């Protein structure tokens, strides 16, 4: 178990860590958390609760996630060896770089049908429930169907995001008409219904994956995309399958951090942690500026490598163990100066932003970290009105350089930023967690783990701690970080800016196998909460 957690300052604003002994859920939306707890109390296991919660969040947080998106999960049965589930969609069979180059594309437009890969989320949910769940799919999806059919209350962060990103759907009349009733975003406290989506969820509940990937829903999606110039065919949907794979991991202190393998960016999180592992961050002489500087320098190295190698699993040829090995990592560590910022590299791809993360542990010790995303806020902006599905734009993460492993191609999966995480010690899972925020997620995993293991924070304190994020040449700081820290980082040569919006979000549940006590946190930057019973 991790070291004794520090007590929080009860004079300061904030919330206490959630504690319980029977089961716990942490999500970024209160209704999703309540749903997971209800499912656990009704006899469902962690998988049932997580899928039920993410289905609800796909209704009530539609610009962040949905069944038109993708899903990854790490599942640890009874706290044992984790299993990775890859529910990321692939490009159409007709897609190839030459086609787009001949049309003059320099990149895949993020608001076009060419950015829409086959959504993998619903298939992954079905896989999880059929293989690891204890309840039937119709029971699991019941809360989401009710929310879509009867309506749900708009929460503050959802309303803020709806307003901030409304321009994403302006180009598509069907999306605009549905998501901007009376021509404007819905506000906090409003009731919003999604009757078409309720029907689709009911179809998924009754027919399983065939209800989405075959028949009238698949036909509508393919017809809509084809009418816009997309290359999708119904066989791309009917033949799609999510799959299981073996996780990757690396040591940090005397723990094991577990991630999904490529095409996710989990290897970047592991590489950052491996670099940090060579520095004694428990030492009180490390200032906040030191910690932020070191994290940003490790990020530059890890993201440069990430952007060069991560692609569809079939196209990854590097030796991951070698990359994470001490010989490679020590060379990378030794290049870091604590007093001077290193060189930056330029990011040429799209910004990866919007996701939801679910963490659940049940009374049997089963633990799951599940993450679900439609990529950009409101995804591609392409909305299918009969099925109520808003399609993601994950295909804009491909590159068009035919020599790059992440070049678009027939039925290839693109680089993904969404990554679930787990922490293990002595053969047992001791934390399930996830960090939202697109490009930030790998950094967020490293930051969260370090705050807990190096600074003895509980999951809520670690989540609440002010964040920094180096990306594309700029070190962004949340304004809760002091001006003196900003000036010191500038003195070391960083280009520093105050973050325009909160950096990411997090959910985490710690498991004390000695006492059976669960400790959970949910990020204050979102609407969510961690609850146990």
Distance in angstroms (rounded) separating the CA atoms of residues 237 and 454:
45
Examine the residue annotation and report whether 355 is marked as an active-site residue of this protein.
yes
Percent helix, strand and coil across the chain, each to the nearest 5: 40, 20, 40
Answer for the pair 14, 464: CB distance below 8 angstroms, yes or no. Answer: yes
Place of tokens 């860590």: 17
Distance in angstroms (rounded) separating the CA atoms of residues 102 and 95:
12
Output the CA angle 531-444-526, nearest 5 degrees: 45
Answer for the pair 360, 24: CB distance below 8 angstroms, yes or no. Answer: yes
What would the DSSP string read from start to end of 308-360? HH---GGG--S-HHHHHSHHHHHHHHHT--SSS--------SPPP-EEEEEEE
Which residues are CB-neighbours of 42 under 8 A, at least 6 positions away?
A: 135
Distance in angstroms (rounded) separating the CA atoms of residues 395 and 88:
11
Distance in angstroms (rounded) separating the CA atoms of residues 489 and 292:
8
Q: Which residue of the set 27, 33, 65, 355 is catalytic? A: 355
Distance in angstroms (rounded) separating the CA atoms of residues 168 and 158:
15
For 485, phi and psi rounded to 5 degrees? -65, -45
Closest to 304 (Cα-Cα) out of 353, 344, 250, 261? 344
Distance in angstroms (rounded) separating the CA atoms of residues 517 and 470:
36
What token pair was written down for 525? 């930057």
Which residues are CB-neighbours of 331 under 8 A, at least 6 positions away?
A: none
What would the DSSP string read from start to end of 35-73? HHHHHHHTT--HHHHHHHHHHHHHHHSTTT--TTSEEEE
Q: Give the residue numbers annotated as catalytic, written as ranges.
A: 355
């Amino acid at each position: 178990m991790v070291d004794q957690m520090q007590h929080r300052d009860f004079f300061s604003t904030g919330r206490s860590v959630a504690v319980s002994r029977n089961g716990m859920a942490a999500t970024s939306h209160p209704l999703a958390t309540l749903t997971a707890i209800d499912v656990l109390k009704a006899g469902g296991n962690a998988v049932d609760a997580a899928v039920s919660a993410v289905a609800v969040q796909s209704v009530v947080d539609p610009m962040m996630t949905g069944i038109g998106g993708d899903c990854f999960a790490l599942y640890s049965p009874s706290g044992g060896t984790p299993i990775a589930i890859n529910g990321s969609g692939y490009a159409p069979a007709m897609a190839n770089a030459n086609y787009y180059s001949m049309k003059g594309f320099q990149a895949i437009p993020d608001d076009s049908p060419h950015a829409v890969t086959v959504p993998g989320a619903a298939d992954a949910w079905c896989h999880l429930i059929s293989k690891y769940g204890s309840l039937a799919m119709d029971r699991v999806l019941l809360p989401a169907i009710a929310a879509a059919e009867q309506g749900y209350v708009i929460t503050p962060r959802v309303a803020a995001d709806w307003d901030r990103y409304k321009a994403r759907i302006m180009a598509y009349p069907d999306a605009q008409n549905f998501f901007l009733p009376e021509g404007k975003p819905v506000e906090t406290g409003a009731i919003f219904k999604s009757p078409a989506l309720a029907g689709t969820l009911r179809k998924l509940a009754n027919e399983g994956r065939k209800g989405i990937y075959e028949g009238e829903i698949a036909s509508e999606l393919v017809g809509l995309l084809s009418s816009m110039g997309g290359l999708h065919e119904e066989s791309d949907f009917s033949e799609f399958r999510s799959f299981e794979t073996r996780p990757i991991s690396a040591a940090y202190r005397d723990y094991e951090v577990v991630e999904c393998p490529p095409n996710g960016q989990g290897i970047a999180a592991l590489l950052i942690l491996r670099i940090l592992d060579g520095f004694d961050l428990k030492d009180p002489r490390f200032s906040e500026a030191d910690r932020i500087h070191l994290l940003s320098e490790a990020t530059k190295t890890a993201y440069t490598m990430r952007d060069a190698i991560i692609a569809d699993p079939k196209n990854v040829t590097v030796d991951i163990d070698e990359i994470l090995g001490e010989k490679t990592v020590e060379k990378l560590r030794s290049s870091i100066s604590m007093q001077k910022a290193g060189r930056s590299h330029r990011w040429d791809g799209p910004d990866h932003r919007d996701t939801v993360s679910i963490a659940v542990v049940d009374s049997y010790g089963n633990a799951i970290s599940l993450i679900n995303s439609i990529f950009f806020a409101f995804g591609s902006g392409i909305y299918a009105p009969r099925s109520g599905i808003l399609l993601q734009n994950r295909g804009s993460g491909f590159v068009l350089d035919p020599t790059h492993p992440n070049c678009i191609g027939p039925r290839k999966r693109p680089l993904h930023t969404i990554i679930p995480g787990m922490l293990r010690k002595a053969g047992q899972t001791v934390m399930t967690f996830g960090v939202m925020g697109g490009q930030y997620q790998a950094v967020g995993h490293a930051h969260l783990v370090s705050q807990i293991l190096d600074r003895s924070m509980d999951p809520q304190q670690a989540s609440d701690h002010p964040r920094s994020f180096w990306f594309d040449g700029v070190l962004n700081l949340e304004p809760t970080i002091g001006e003196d820290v900003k000036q010191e980082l500038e003195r070391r040569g960083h280009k520093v800016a105050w973050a325009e919006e909160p950096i990411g979000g997090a959910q985490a549940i710690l498991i004390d196998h000695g006492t059976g006590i669960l400790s959970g946190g949910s990020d204050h930057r979102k609407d969510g909460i961690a609850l146990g019973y």
